[in-house]
Structures are given as structure tokens and as C-alpha cells.
């Protein structure tokens, strides 16, 4: 995916992240595909998949790494704007709160 410039619309429908999510379930998507859904759109010359790939790479390849990143650092990545990363930051915070609630319910916290 890295070397070839493409748009999501160029992919067969069953290979597009949103369509894959609805057809197979979120658990079947890669981290890059899940992040691409949150980022929503690419930019001129860069698909949303390529941007998601770059964001995760910059974060050490994981959502955990991304959760620890400063938003101002992430928006320096070409194609990442404040509104896009705000959705990602919100999703990561929701995930953190769910995990905390689960641990609390299990009596671990």
C-alpha cells in the first residue's frame, strides 16, 4: 500500500475499511483500517490509509503508543489536522475509560 498512490474509492468495495467493518465486523480490521475510519478522509496525493499508516508508524506502530503522543506532535504529520486527531483522541479516551471501568468492576483498581 505504501508505494502506490490511490484513493479509497479506487479499492473494490469489499476492501474499503468502512464496508469491511459492516460486512465482517470491527474485530477483522487492521489497526490501520480502524484508524483510517476515524480519520475519515485523505488529502490531495495521500489516501486516508496512507495517513493512518504514517500516524501509527510515528506512534511506534500501536494505539497504545498513539495514546501517549502529544496531539500537537501528531498534527505535524502531513494530512493530520486538529479535527481529525480530535476524533482519534476521543476514541482513545473512550477506550481508556472502558478499560478502567472493566478493571474497577473486576476489583483490580
Q: Please state the domain extents for the chain.
A: 8-105
C-alpha cell belonging to residue 23: 460486512
CA 44, 47, 48, 50: dihedral to nearest 10 degrees? -120
Q: Distance between CA 61 and CA 54 in Å, rounded?
A: 9
How would residue 1 be classed by pLDDT, with cut points 50, 70 and 90?
very low
Q: For residue range 10-69, what is the model confidence (pLDDT) as tens digits?
A: 888 888 999 999 999 999 999 999 999 999 999 988 999 999 999 999 999 999 999 999
- Measure Cα distances from 88 to 5, 51, 69, 97 in Å: 24, 13, 11, 14
pTM of the model: 0.84
Average the pLDDT over 85-101 and give the result. Answer: 94
Q: Distance between CA 86 and CA 61 in Å, rounded?
A: 19
CA 31, 88, 49, 64: dihedral to nearest 10 degrees? -30
pLDDT at 109: 57
Amino acid at each position: 500500500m505504501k508505494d502506490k498512490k490511490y484513493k479509497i474509492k479506487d479499492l473494490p468495495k469489499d476492501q474499503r475499511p468502512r464496508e469491511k467493518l459492516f460486512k465482517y465486523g470491527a474485530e477483522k480490521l487492521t489497526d490501520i483500517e480502524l484508524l483510517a475510519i476515524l480519520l475519515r478522509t485523505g488529502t490531495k496525493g495521500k489516501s486516508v490509509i496512507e495517513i493512518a499508516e504514517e500516524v501509527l508508524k510515528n506512534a511506534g506502530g500501536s494505539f497504545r503508543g498513539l495514546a501517549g503522543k502529544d496531539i500537537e506532535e501528531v498534527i505535524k504529520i502531513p494530512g493530520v489536522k486538529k479535527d481529525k486527531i480530535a476524533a482519534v483522541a476521543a476514541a482513545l479516551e473512550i477506550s481508556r475509560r472502558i478499560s478502567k471501568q472493566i478493571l474497577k468492576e473486576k476489583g483490580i483498581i
